[in-house]
Structure 1
Amino acid sequence: MARQLPPQTPSDDAPKGDPWHAFGYVVSGVALYGLAGWALDRWLGTTFLVAIGILVGAGFGIYMTYARFNKASQ
């Protein structure tokens, strides 16, 4: 009969989150807010809101990544 071993605890040097989640948050933030900025540019007849939307989306994506990874490490 095989002896059952207790589950091993992960070591401290193992990553605490999935890097694809971080990539997904940043890309989806850029895409969503960039699209919103593009739509507002078309509606208002301006040319700068798409750039602002991309920057805001990247900022929100980085913030969401930080919040998720900070929560996972606690």
Structure 2
Amino acid sequence: MAQQKPPSADPDDTPRGDPWHAFGYLVSGVLMYGLIGWGLDRWLGTSWLVVVGILSGAGLGIFMTWSRFNKPFADRPHDRSN
């Protein structure tokens, strides 16, 4: 019986990054900007800046995740048909 070889990993099939980095960006953005908003709320006597801080932190965390994991591979082979 012939042995089957495992399929080779295509560059498109390999993961582009660690999902814990994405989680870290989101959580740290929400915590950091949420705390800044909370501090500004206490200092200015408002009650809505914490919400703005949390939403801004989530948005910036999503942007940081997108910009980090959207980079193309440097060693990705180009067109092999030539």
TM-score bracket for the superposition, by shorter chain length: 0.7 to 0.9
Letter in 2 for 1:23: F
Q: Which has the higher contact order (CA 8 A, sep 6+)?
A: 1
Could you say which structure has the higher helix fraction? 1
Point out 4+ residue stretches in structure 1 off by more than 2 angstroms: 9-12
Identity %: 68
Following TM superposition, by how much is the alpha carbon of 1:10 offset from its aligned partner in structure 2, in angstroms?
4.6
The equivalent of 2:62 in structure 1 is: 62
| Segment drifting more, 9-18 vs 33-42 | 9-18
Distance 2:51 2:24 in 1: 20
Q: How many residues align?
A: 65
Q: Root-mean-square deviation (CA), in Å? A: 1.4
**TM-score (structure 1 length as normaliser):** 0.81
Larger Rg: 2
